[in-house]
Structure 1
Amino acid sequence: MTSLPQARMATQASGTWALYVLTDAPCMEWPMHDFGRVTPMPTLQERVRALAALGYTVAGGPEWEWNATRNSPAPRHLWAAIPVRPATPAGAGGDGA
C-alpha cells in the first residue's frame, strides 16, 4: 500500500520528464511539474526544487526508489518514487518574516 503523499517522477506520453505528487485527491488534481525535456534526466537538486515549488519536501531522506515496467512491445517505462510531506504543516501559518 502506498503511503500518501508520495512524489513520483516519470516520463509522460510526450517523452518529457514530469514530477507529480500523489495525494488523496483525484489524479487530475495532483500537483505536477513538467521538466520540459527528454534528456538529461532531472538531477536530484532539480527534483527537490520542483517539489518545493509544488509545496512539498522529501520525508525521511533523499532516496528515490526506481522501478521499471515493460509493456510488450512498448519500451521499458522508468519511474521513481519517494515519500514527501507538505512543506508547511497543516495549521501552521507563515507570517512572511
Structure 2
Amino acid sequence: MVTLTAQMSNTGSTWRLYVVLYGEPDWPTVRWERTGPVPTVAERRAALAALGYEVAPGAAWSWTEDSRDPNNDSTPVLLIAAVTVRPREAVTS
C-alpha cells in the first residue's frame, strides 16, 4: 500500500491542506479562506476525498507548533497538522 503525508497549516489568514508529493512542483491543495475555526475532521476528510486521497487505516492527525522565526519566541505560532494518507484507488471492496 502506497502511503503519503498530508499536512494542514495556517498562515494567519487561511488554512491550507496539501498532500506532500516529493519531486512534484505542484502539490494537491485545498484552501479554507478563514482563520477560524480550524477545519473539522469531516471537512478535512471531504477535502482529501476531493483530492483523491483518504486517511490511512489507523492513522490519526497529529499537531505541532512552528514559528516563522524559531529564534524569537514572541513571533506568532504556526500550527501544522499531519496525517498518513493513501490514494482512494487503494481502497478494496
Q: Same fold, TM exceeding 0.5?
A: yes
Q: Is the Cα contact below 8 Å between 1:68 and 1:78 reproduced in 2?
A: yes
Q: Percent of aligned positions with the same letter in both sequences?
A: 40
Q: Matches of residues 1-80 of structure 1 in structure 2 within 5 Å?
A: 5-12=4-11, 15-26=13-24, 28-70=25-67, 71=69, 72=72, 73-80=74-81
Counterpart for residue 84 of structure 1: 85
Q: Is the Cα contact below 8 Å between 1:57 and 1:85 reproduced in 2?
A: yes
Q: Write the letter of the residue equivalent to 1:5.
A: L
TM-score using structure 2 length: 0.80
Provide Cα deviations, 1:73-92, integer angstroms capped at 9, x if missing partner: 42111110000000013xxx
Instruction: Compute the displacement of 1:4 (Å).
Output: 5.3
Instruction: Compute the displacement of 1:29 (Å).
Output: 1.1
Distance in 1 separating the partners of 2:35 and 2:9: 11
Q: Give the superposed CA RMSD.
A: 2.1
> Greater relative contact order: 1 or 2 (C-alpha under 8 angstroms, separation 6 or more)?
2
Task: Give the secondary-structure state (helix, strand or coil) at the position aligned to 1:63.
Answer: coil
Instruction: Compute the displacement of 1:69 (Å).
Output: 1.4
May I ask how many residue pairs the two structures share in their alignment?
Answer: 86
TM-score using structure 1 length: 0.77
